Amino acid sequence: MFVSHSTVSREVSALEAELGVSLIDRGNRVFGLTEAGERLRVRAQELVALADDIEREMRDI
């Protein structure tokens, strides 16, 4: 799946505005997640794992 850099940047900026936090550290050619960004990443991974578990559970009924 190809998504342009500008699309990703726009979506991240919109999410940051919605949440009221900075998710990405954009300073001095360093690119990384802020504390809030890391917390969001962890929680998002947990949600994806939970969705996978639910899907598996529903198939097993």
Distance CA 59, CA 41 (A): 27
One DSSP character per residue, 6-29 reads: HHHHHHHHHHHHHHTS--EE-STT
**Span 1-51, pLDDT tens digits:** 688 989 999 999 999 999 999 999 988 777 899 999 999 999 999 999 999
| Pairwise CA distance, residues 17 & 52, whole Å | 29
pTM of the entire predicted model:
0.81
CA distance 34 to 42: 12
- What pLDDT, on a 0 to 100 scale, did the predictor assign at position 21? 98
Per-residue pLDDT band for 53 (boundaries 50, 70, 90) equals very high
Could you tell me if 17 and 36 are in contact, meaning their C-beta atoms sit under 8 angstroms apart? no
